[in-house]
Chain A
Amino acid sequence: MNELHAGKSGGDTLLDIENVERIFGGGRKLFGGKMPAVHAVQGLTLNVRRGETLGVVGESGCGKSTLARLVVGLDLPTAGTITFDGEDLTALARRNRNALARKVQYVFQDPVASLNPRKTIRTILEAPLKHLTDLDARGRERRLEELLEAVNLAPEFLERYPHEFSGGQAQRIGIARALAAGPELIVLDEPVSALDVSVQAQVLNLLDALKEKFGLTYIFISHDLSVVESVSNRVAVMYFGRMAELGPAKEIFKHPLHPYTDLLMRSAPAPGRHDLLSEDAAAELPDPYNPPPGCAFAARCPRKSDLCLSARPAPDAARGQDENHFAACHHPLPRA
């Protein structure tokens, strides 16, 4: 199997990301010479099946949000293709942004910052109904009521301003806005990271219920492994703009192949857990302007060999027992 097929798996594919790359910078300077370029996302191949929740984990700066913005069309890839339901998503984003917005929506990390402080909730929720649907005033009113009910908010909230809401309530509004135009796929970019654990559970439960009710597909991005584990069918672990490991959630968390996945898992705190693994202070991400030729994780990896330093492992260099479980590693962890 080559690089292109490692991220694929059977089933009814809704979103197909193929060898996608997004480079920032890298233009020409005024007086010759190239500006430094950063590969935010590189050689990413991945698909999302209809009706599943794909979790995406990784450290900040590993390209999670870039991936999210590419999928909703807020940003365009510099190479590779993204296909949504058989249609070229990138072309659609260029040609008819609203058509894409009807199918794919986004929920933001900071719920309060994603609401315009000078607009009432009614204005905010009506915007997608006005621009993306052809409902008349009466239809919009009815839809607003449905939306508020779907996210468990009282109708009185409509006339209020964002600053009057707690984080959890604001995130419900953000979710209602994403649902407004009836999308098929919702990209949730750290939707609960800014919330208290107590509220976090409420929002996660709500997301579960909505998925069931409206037959949605989720891409759930988070840096919190335990949250991702509890919501995802499949999980993609990203490191330094590339896929480190991809597979069914159960497999990944029970039998991780990639040393990075293992590190993440052993760093996660949990009530009653005292033995947090801690790396050396020197363990830093590679310089994005000067990426290493081999495995990007080598500087932090306890299993690295000379091979790792010279040759970059393919996304499917290692296979798990499940046929859909891959990792980009020359020396994967043995099955425990």
Chain B
Amino acid sequence: MTDTTQTVEMKPKRTSARPGTLALLLNNSLATGGLIVLVAICLIALAAPLLPLADPDVTAPVDRLQPVFSDGHLLGTDHLGRDLLSRLIWGTRVSLAVGLSATVIAAFFGSLLGLVAGYAGGRVDTLIMRGIDMVMAFPYILLALAIVAVLGPGLLNALYAIALVNIPFFARNIRGITLGLSRREFVDAARLSGKSPAQILFLEILPNVLPVIVITMSTTVGWMILETAGLSFLGLGAQPPQADLGSMLGEGRKILFTAPHVSVIPGLMIFALVMSINLFGDGVRDVLDPRLRAGSLTRPVARTAVERGDAPVPPPSGKGGVLDVRDMRTEFEIGGSVYKAVGGVDLTLAAGECLGIVGESGSGKSVTAMSIMGLVPTPPGRIAGGAAYLDGEDLFAVSDRRIRKLRGSAVAYVFQDPLSTLHPLFTVGDQLREAIGTHQPLSAAEVKARAIELLSLVRIPNAKERLSAYPHELSGGMRQRVCIAMALANDAKVLIADEPTTALDVTVQSQILTLMNGLRRDRNAAILFITHDFGVVSAICDRVAVMYAGRIVETGRTNEVLASPQHPYTAKLIECVPVLGEPERRLDAIEGRPPVVNNLPDGCAFADRCGRVRPECRSGEIALVISREDRGVRCLYPLNTEGAA
């Protein structure tokens, strides 16, 4: 048995590689602006008792309705002669306090209900959620009014009312998340570790729900302040003489035309407050959104950026073939470091040929496949060099329009998870018809006939009836066949299949492989077949390219590579495949792990795991040496080469 004690990689701890939460937030200028305004308002409101302000509630009928900038009253006075500046600051203080407390109360009870409903499920869930539905069935303002009518007007009662009407919002959000989390394997694992349901709910699930609670709070606080102001405006919240923003607005309304400043000033404050909170809240949401956590600060664009720099674009290889990839490089820039996911890959693919790409996960197979049609998300990805020629046309140089036209017609993809390709809310027929219709000008009847033809082609029984089936009504194998049918909708010249059978059962896998094999024979399509399984390669590929750390380390005809692998990595990889009928065969595993592609070593990337390593392997660039037409290996001391070292 191999004793590969797994140790922590020696990579220096790079805390700065991924931008921190605050850095991400500050990068968003709107959110920063919101934060600054909000902090300023809060500071002033908090400091109200310390500021040299007039008493907000003392009336002085003599000074009534003083305009802005009058002596001693910076913002003037209201109809009872009270100082508006003072009332504004004290009023903001009250509105903020009420809004925040209402949010906290609503968040607490709403989240609690949501957590319990989502975790307990069954009858408890039904009961809680029906109750919530009942609360939600009333227009919220009506409900708030009813509550205040029962409890009597007053700021505290308004607070309760606002909190109560917002509980369902939290409960629903949190229930959904909890429901998903409690079906996760780590919850079962905690159960088997002996944790009680309460411990699981509050120690395992709650920490995962917390970000969502924070996001929901930050996006509802502004809303709740508005609602409180609304109730006060109607005279149901703060009672005179106490000032809050809503009641100030309400008092000013009666004299809107004679003294507009009395209502405009609190109105502006409400606007500034709610706006700043919402901008900041949106910023918080974006930061806690895991998609942005990866380090990208802007949304991905529809096509991978091409930044090939000054280096000359490599010309086509001259071998002909439909697809000709030359020295393709794809990088991801995350934080401060550059991950060379694909580091110079050459591939050629002739019509009717099937080329397999094999390698461990993370070796760059998928990125290679996605780069060809610009499907790698930018940011963080970019194509940093090389070219991909489709019938002589450089795919990295053509217009966005052209690439859209080619995607799904000349070059089609089939992915591992059919559910990620199929839209759950449309029938198979709708999706097939769309795939056909966008690229071919056909009548509705022709499109339908073509859709049926395609489904029969991928050997789906009762093709006509299946058109009206939804993806979830089909088995995994059927769904994958539908994806293949969609890929074939427009007579693709090149089919790029990324682990199309990995998620399927062996029996279904062999059906799909047979199907794809037949298709390339009948339609002369070229297939780029990505897999990590040498068994699958044997079944379908004419040639195979082995990838390691973003580069091709060996290539050749499938039979030759399997019978006499030349790269030590290929040999090891083949060795550790278990084979039916040879239960004793399971030999040594490959020790260690592939290098991380942001920090590739000099020389051979496999050196640390290689049994044949010599000092020369660790320096310089090791070229892919082509021995015969299709055969190449990137190794200084290859195996199975007659006459070589």
Q: Which residues does A use to contact B, with CB under 8 Å?
A: 59-60, 72, 74, 97-98, 101, 105-106, 108-110, 113-119, 127-128, 130-132, 152-154, 156-157, 160, 166-169, 172, 174, 177-178, 180-181, 196-202, 204-206, 208-209, 223-227, 229-230, 249, 253, 263-265, 267-274, 276-285
Contacts of A119 in B (CB 8 A): 204, 207
Contacts of B458 in A (CB 8 A): 281
Contacts of B513 in A (CB 8 A): 269, 276, 278
9 A-B pairs, CB-CB below 8 angstroms? A106-B188, A127-B190, A128-B194, A132-B194, A152-B5, A204-B578, A268-B506, A269-B533, A279-B507
Contacts of B583 in A (CB 8 A): 229-230, 249, 253
Q: Is the CB of B8 within 8 A of A156?
A: yes
Q: Is the CB of B190 within 8 A of A98?
A: no
Q: Is the CB of B585 within 8 A of A225?
A: no
Q: Which of chain A's residues has its CB closest to B5's CB?
A: A152
Q: Which of chain B's residues has its CB closest to A116's CB?
A: B186
Does B405 count as interface, using CB distance less than 8 angstroms?
no
**Stretch in contact with the other chain, from B34-42, B334-342, B568-576:** B568-576
Q: Is the CB of B539 within 8 A of A113?
A: no
**CA A110 to CA B185, docked complex, whole Å:** 8
**CA A181 to CA B193, docked complex, whole Å:** 8
**CA A303 to CA B67, docked complex, whole Å:** 99
Does B310 count as interface, using CB distance less than 8 angstroms?
no
Does B532 count as interface, using CB distance less than 8 angstroms?
yes
Does B28 count as interface, using CB distance less than 8 angstroms?
no
The one of A97, A131, A196 in contact with B360, judged by C-beta atoms closer than 8 angstroms, is A196
The one of A59, A154, A271, A282 in contact with B7, judged by C-beta atoms closer than 8 angstroms, is A154
Q: Is the CB of A264 within 8 A of B589?
A: no
Q: Which residues does B use to contact A, with CB under 8 Å?
A: 1-8, 184-186, 188-195, 204, 207-208, 360-361, 458-461, 475-476, 478, 481, 505-511, 513-515, 532-539, 559, 562-563, 572-574, 576-581, 583-590, 593
Known: A108-B185, A264-B507. A272 touches B538 (CB 8 A): yes
The one of B8, B185, B538, B581 in contact with A271, judged by C-beta atoms closer than 8 angstroms, is B538
What 7 A-B pairs are tightest by C-beta distance, nearest first? Answer: A131-B194, A269-B535, A281-B459, A201-B589, A278-B514, A127-B193, A202-B589
Q: Is the CB of B532 within 8 A of A106?
A: no
Known: A267-B506, A278-B510. A132 touches B580 (CB 8 A): no
**CA A273 to CA B397, docked complex, whole Å:** 41
Contacts of A281 in B (CB 8 A): 458-461, 481, 511, 515
Q: Is the CB of B586 within 8 A of A268?
A: no
**CA A196 to CA B100, docked complex, whole Å:** 51
Contacts A106-B188, A224-B578, A230-B578 known; list 6 others, CB within 8 Å.
A114-B188, A116-B208, A229-B580, A230-B584, A269-B506, A284-B478
Q: Is the CB of B6 within 8 A of A153?
A: yes
Q: Is the CB of B6 within 8 A of A154?
A: yes
Q: Is the CB of B475 within 8 A of A230?
A: no
Q: Which of chain A's residues has its CB closest to B188's CB?
A: A74
Q: Is the CB of B192 within 8 A of A105?
A: yes
**CA A98 to CA B194, docked complex, whole Å:** 5
**CA A174 to CA B186, docked complex, whole Å:** 10
Q: Is the CB of B193 within 8 A of A101?
A: yes
